[in-house]
Amino acid sequence: MSLQMIETNSPSQFSSSIGGGKDSQEIVDFKKKWLENTHALHEDFSSQERKNPSIEETLYDSRADCKIEISKVAMHLSDNWRNGLFKQLDSLMDIDNWEDDDAPVTHKSFSTLLRMLTLLRPDCRPGLGSTSSGNIIAAWTKESSRLTIECLPNDKVRWVLSHFIDNIRESAAGEAHLTRLNIVLAPYNQKQWFSDC
């Protein structure tokens, strides 16, 4: 399993403004146009080749799907957050840094990430990574403390943390449903990762 982490140090805020839709439609239109052009240019390819898209095409589709999902919740994100997530996805799923055996980020895992971010409402945007099976990973680091959350399909998460209390390292790990994540992390002072970027 390979893990790629894309860190971010820029503080950002969620906004409570109502809006969205335009970005989502632009991305859908762009993807549709790209697919139409791709198929028009490659009509002479065999149906077998169409069934097996290149890794570059697969990564492009995954990035586009993730960006469409971001646009669907744009009203809950500031421009800074949204644009930052777009850049992180572009960097994470860059063909030059991608392992051919790894699956691109899955739609279900990414949907869990977005729901998690809207529930936790962190001030600090996480670093993003992915597992070889296509699950997205969110990671927050504050000095020597670290929280890593693997977003699984169907609003489930797997988390691991490490932090120091009175110079003694404490670690914990578990699995939870998104609706319980805040409660599960509360004993570990989760605000240390989510605020004061």
Contacts 24+ apart (CB under 8 A), 28-31: 28/68, 30/64, 31/61, 31/64, 31/68
Mean pLDDT of 84-97: 91
pTM (whole model) above 0.75: no
| Span 128-175, pLDDT tens digits | 999 999 999 999 998 889 999 999 999 999 999 998 888 889 999 999
* pLDDT at res. 12: 47
The model's pLDDT over 39-76, given as tens digits with 9 standing for 90+, comes to: 554 454 444 455 788 889 999 999 999 999 998 988 88
- The conformation of residue 180, written as its DSSP 8-state character, comes to H
Residue type, 146: R
d(CA 148, CA 191): 14
3-state secondary structure of 24: helix
Total Cβ atoms within 10 A of residue 182: 15
